[in-house]
């Protein structure tokens, strides 16, 4: 199916929100201070974990475009996704083998390579996304009308409820996140994002209602419910994604500009932030001796996000080699 490419500011902002949430999740550290033992920071972490990757996959589904030439299509995905996945997983092997005291999940290089080949390594998102992109041009043939797309939506949602799927080759992760990719694709196919954004501007009160609902889900429900099921997880993710979309439409221009900058290099931030996180964690805990969970999270997030962003913008974009290995096209 041939599709024309169109640019949407809201999507760039959503990419920025998604990568900021990834880094926020990393900022809720486990070592050497375990912030997961603090109730409110654990609640934020659980919410972020429930929503940030579904948001990434939904945006990826929205941005999906197949021009009809599978060879060209796959070559672009190899350059954009597969090459960075392999190279950065191999780079990541070294500190995990040699700097165990500074990193999470230290392991020998051989184990890291096996993890990369079979379980996604430290960049499982790219493994899953590449797998979906490989097969979706075939699946797309079924979605030429609303009925066919509805079948794919229902089927992809049903996959989330299939128990005991294999961890090897990330079968369970692909099955879990495919639904959100299809939702993003469906939104682009059958909804006018410009009209939707105009409607949000006219009904901004819903943003505040959505914020209240999310706060209840994040901070109140976990007090009474400890055994979450898939339906609750899906509702939390979808409501959170809708609220992020509202925010992308209504936020001020300065915030939009920053988030669009992060969104432009969201893949590269995803690749690099784990390395600079070692620096930010050492700064907050080992050098500045911080103890406040709030300050630790804020400083970790700002240092990690801003340093990664500045390095990408000022160093990676000026080097053909660094652009190649990090998927900057």
Least confident of 94-103, 251-260, 314-323: 94-103
* Structure confidence by residue, pLDDT tens digits, 24-44: 998 888 877 888 888 888 888
Least confident of 228-232, 246-250, 285-289, 321-325: 228-232
Per-residue pLDDT, averaged over 191-209, amounts to 85
User: What pLDDT does 145 receive?
Assistant: 83
* Structure confidence by residue, pLDDT tens digits, 148-172: 999 999 999 999 889 889 999 999 9
At residue 80, the 3 state secondary structure works out as helix
Give the number of other Cβ atoms within 10 Å of residue 315's Cβ: 10
Give the number of other Cβ atoms within 10 Å of residue 241's Cβ: 23
* Structure confidence by residue, pLDDT tens digits, 65-74: 998 899 999 9
**Model confidence at 103: pLDDT above 70:** no
d(CA 110, CA 112): 5
Quickly list DSSP for 111-129. Answer: HHHHHHHHH-TT-HHHHHH
If pLDDT is split at 50, 70 and 90, which confidence band does 140 have? very high
- Percent share of the chain, pLDDT over 70: 93
Tokens at 240, concatenated: 């959170």
If pLDDT is split at 50, 70 and 90, which confidence band does 1 have? very low
Q: Is 120 left (phi over 0), alpha (psi -120 to 50) or beta?
A: left
Query: CA 277, 102, 327, 118: dihedral to nearest 10 degrees?
Result: -130
* Structure confidence by residue, pLDDT tens digits, 253-264: 999 999 999 999
User: What pLDDT does 2 receive?
Assistant: 44
**Model confidence at 218: pLDDT above 50:** yes
**Model confidence at 125: pLDDT above 80:** yes
Q: H helices of the chain, where?
A: 9-27, 39-63, 70-77, 83-98, 109-119, 124-140, 146-159, 171-190, 193-202, 205-215, 221-224, 230-250, 253-264, 266-281, 293-314, 320-326
15 within 8 A of 292, measured Cβ to Cβ: no
**Model confidence at 5: pLDDT above 70:** no
Least confident of 55-64, 114-123, 226-235: 226-235
Per-residue pLDDT, averaged over 197-218, amounts to 79
């Amino acid at each position: 199916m041939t599709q024309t490419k169109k640019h949407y500011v809201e999507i760039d902002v959503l990419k920025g929100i998604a990568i900021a949430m990834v880094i926020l999740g990393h900022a809720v550290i486990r070592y050497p201070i375990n912030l997961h033992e603090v109730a409110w920071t654990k609640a934020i972490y659980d919410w972020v974990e429930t929503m940030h990757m579904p948001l990434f996959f939904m945006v990826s589904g929205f941005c999906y475009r197949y021009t009809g030439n599978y060879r060209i299509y796959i070559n672009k995905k190899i350059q954009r996704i597969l090459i960075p996945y392999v190279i950065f997983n191999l780079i990541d092997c070294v500190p995990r083998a040699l700097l165990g005291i500074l990193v999470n999940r230290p392991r020998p290089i051989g184990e890291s390579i096996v993890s990369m080949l079979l379980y996604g390594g430290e960049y499982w998102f790219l493994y899953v996304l590449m797998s979906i992109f490989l097969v979706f041009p075939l699946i797309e043939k079924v979605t030429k009308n609303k009925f066919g797309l509805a079948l794919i939506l229902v089927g992809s949602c049903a996959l989330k409820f299939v128990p005991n799927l294999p961890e090897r080759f990330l079968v369970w992760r692909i099955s879990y996140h495919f639904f959100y990719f299809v939702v993003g694709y469906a939104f682009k196919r059958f909804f006018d994002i410009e009209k939707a954004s105009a409607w949000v501007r006219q009904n901004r009160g819903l943003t505040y209602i959505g914020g209240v609902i999310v706060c209840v889900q994040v901070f109140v429900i976990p007090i009474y419910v400890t055994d979450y099921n898939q339906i609750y997880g899906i509702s939390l993710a979808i409501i959170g994604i809708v609220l992020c979309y509202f925010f992308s439409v209504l936020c001020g221009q300065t915030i939009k500009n920053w988030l669009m900058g992060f969104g432009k290099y969201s893949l590269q931030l995803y690749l690099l932030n784990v390395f600079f996180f070692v620096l930010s964690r050492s700064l907050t805990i080992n050098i500045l001796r911080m103890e406040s969970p709030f300050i630790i999270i804020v400083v970790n997030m700002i240092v990690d996000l801003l340093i990664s962003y500045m390095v990408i913008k000022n160093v990676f974009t000026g080097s053909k080699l660094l652009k190649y290995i990090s998927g900057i096209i």
